[in-house]
Structure 1
Amino acid sequence: MLEPLEAVLAELEREDVDAVLIGGDAVSGPQPQETLERLRSLELPTHWIRGNGERALGPDAGDAVMDAEGAEAALDFTASQLSEEDRGTLWQLQQTMTLDVDGLGETLFCHASPRNDLDIVTPGTPDSRFRELLDGVRERVVVAGHTHMQLDRVVDGVRWINPGSVGMPYEGEVAAFWAILGPEVELRRTSFDAERSAEAVLATGWPESQAFVQENVRAAVSREEVIPLFEQIAAERGER
């Protein structure tokens, strides 16, 4: 959504940052083309990695599409709003990226985990699972998203950070969630005009717009609601 994104970018202009990193699923929503154009217009150096949302735009989506009501229709809408060239560019983004972050050192960025774009990590994830996901990782800081909840946790000396979600956070609060890295880690939340955002979403024709506005724009899903669901999915996949 543009409204929370614009609010974050306005706040970012007041900060002394060197670059922006987009952690995947950037166009999975009701305003894919507008969001893509806005992010491409940034004057700061901008790094991109691929999430399952971008992978779903490729020729073989496989398990990238969520098994949820309306997911296929939402994906079809996203694909219809983007050019073939843009879909190809997003699908071909790299899955991970390592950058030297001031104060943090070599930092590994990924969408869900260093292994793939679907692994589930929540505040309820046991240390044993972190160890599995970090096996073979040399960096001492990992930044991953996917589950839309902020997290800052250390397991065996490796710091795992989830900056949260700008457009669809599960934090029980109507706001955009993101992070500034270096030299410290600042988990941020930014307010935005929810009613203006709701009106813009409803005007798009996105197939899930009504439900999305009621659950994620005018209201907010809490982590207490989704953590049990995520952990159940992870257990069914054999990740727990």
Structure 2
Amino acid sequence: MRIALISDIHGNDIALETVLKDMKSAGGIDQIICLGDVANLGPDPCSVVARLRDVNCPCVLGNHDAFLFDRDLIHQYTEVDYIIEAVDWCRDQLTQDDIDWMGDFHRVLEVLMDKAGSLIAFHGSPLSHMDNILSRTPDAEVDRLIQGLNGEILACGHTHIQMLRQHRGRLIINPGSVGLPFREFLIRNTPQLMDHAEYAIITSENGTLGVESRRVFLDKRAMFEAAKASSNPMRAWLMEEYS
């Protein structure tokens, strides 16, 4: 069984299309699972939603997905004007049918991985889609965040940082970000984006487990032009990052 994990697409349809093409070249993908933050912030929220629906991809609820349903929730996350305005803009682009589809996202999703045990997927942590689990997060804090989960493989997103971590015998995987991969994890500072899209493939065969973190280089010019053609309030920052 081969499962592809994607996360934090953030309305970047060019990056998502590139990742899906790379999955085809890798071959043998049985299921794609998205770990949240699907359509917000980027220039192409509607195209991203349509593409995910087309590939029948189950999704976990991310914080930016939740912001689309609750206008006030974002103030627990940021007070940066252009981010709040970008969320409002993305909400206005999506149809009610798109919003209803996103309303069915899982808070926690469990998938049986053959003899390797179960994969449990969430966005930040099972407690909150705004929690951060990093390679440097203290063991005691990880224990608090994942308490009560019995899966052998835990998959999270949110940080935009690829990670594979062994924690008390379990594997914790973050596939990184498809649409906005960060060079480093920052709090309350503007991140620098990298020139690729990130995702991961988990393979389970006869009890043998493999994890592959993949990076796919992107057409920055195409993303620059997509941002330029958009009226998204984050347009200027995206153009600068893709220039």
Task: Give the structure-2-normalised TM-score.
Answer: 0.83
CA distance, structure 2, for counterparts of residue 189 and residue 65 of structure 1: 31
CA distance, structure 2, for counterparts of residue 121 and residue 137 of structure 1: 15
Q: Which amino acid aligns with 2:77?
A: M
Match of 2:215 in 1: 189
Following superposition, the deviation at residue 203 of structure 1 comes to: 0.5
Match of 1:67 in 2: 78
Match of 1:34 in 2: 47
| Alignment equivalent of 1:97, drawn from 105, 109, 112 | 109
Following superposition, the deviation at residue 13 of structure 1 comes to: 1.1
Following superposition, the deviation at residue 63 of structure 1 comes to: 4.6
Percent of matched pairs sharing the same residue: 28
Structure 1: stretches of 5+ with no match in the other structure: 219-240
Q: Which amino acid aligns with 1:38?
A: R
Q: Which has the higher contact order (CA 8 A, sep 6+)?
A: 2
CA gap 1:86/1:75 in 2 versus in 1, 3 angstroms: same
- Cα deviation code 1:165-192 (max 9, x no counterpart): 0000113631001001113110000011
Match of 1:173 in 2: 194
Whether the aligned pair in 1 keeps the contact of 2:83 and 2:233 (CA below 8 Å) is: no
Whether the aligned pair in 2 keeps the contact of 1:22 and 1:48 (CA below 8 Å) is: yes
| Alignment equivalent of 2:236, drawn from 207, 210, 232 | 210
Following superposition, the deviation at residue 116 of structure 1 comes to: 1.6
The alignment status of 1:149 with 2:161, answered yes or no, reads yes
CA distance, structure 1, for counterparts of residue 214 and residue 72 of structure 2: 32
Following superposition, the deviation at residue 65 of structure 1 comes to: 6.2
Task: Give the structure-1-normalised TM-score.
Answer: 0.84
Structure 2: stretches of 5+ with no match in the other structure: 1-11, 184-192, 205-209
- Cα deviation code 1:182-228 (max 9, x no counterpart): 1311000001111111111110111111112323x34xxxxxxxxxx
Whether the aligned pair in 2 keeps the contact of 1:104 and 1:182 (CA below 8 Å) is: no
Indicate the RMSD between aligned Cα atoms, in angstroms: 1.8
Match of 1:237 in 2: none
- After TM superposition, the runs of 4+ consecutive aligned structure 1 residues lying more than 4 A away are none
